[in-house]
């Protein structure tokens, strides 16, 4: 449990405070769980993809992380 101060003022003019419960998880275990979950097998993306709204490839769609330029740039930089 930790006490945090927010950015909203209460009726008395002081910043509101709240006690919150902080949870911690091992990120490697979380990724292993996600990758090993058979329910997600058909909706996981492992490579970047260019997605277009039209057949000519003139109107690109950016709607998921793997459709953006960052994923392409990061993948290319790991092989240099």
pLDDT tens string 21-79: 999 999 999 999 999 999 998 988 888 999 999 999 999 999 998 899 988 888 777 65
- The pTM assigned to this predicted structure is 0.47
- Average pLDDT for 1-28: 94
Number of structural domains in the chain: 1
Question: What pLDDT is recorded for position 73?
Answer: 87
Burial class of 34 by CB neighbour count within 10 A (0 to 12, 13 to 18, 19+): exposed
Domain residue limits at 65 = 2-78
């Amino acid at each position: 449990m930790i006490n945090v101060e927010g950015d909203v003022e209460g009726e008395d003019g002081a910043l509101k405070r709240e006690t919150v419960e902080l949870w911690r998880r091992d990120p490697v275990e979380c990724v292993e769980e996600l990758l090993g979950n058979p329910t997600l097998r058909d909706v996981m993306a492992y490579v970047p993809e260019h997605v277009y709204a039209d057949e000519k490839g003139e109107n690109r769609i950016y709607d998921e992380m793997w459709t953006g330029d960052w994923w392409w740039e990061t993948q290319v930089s790991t092989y240099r």
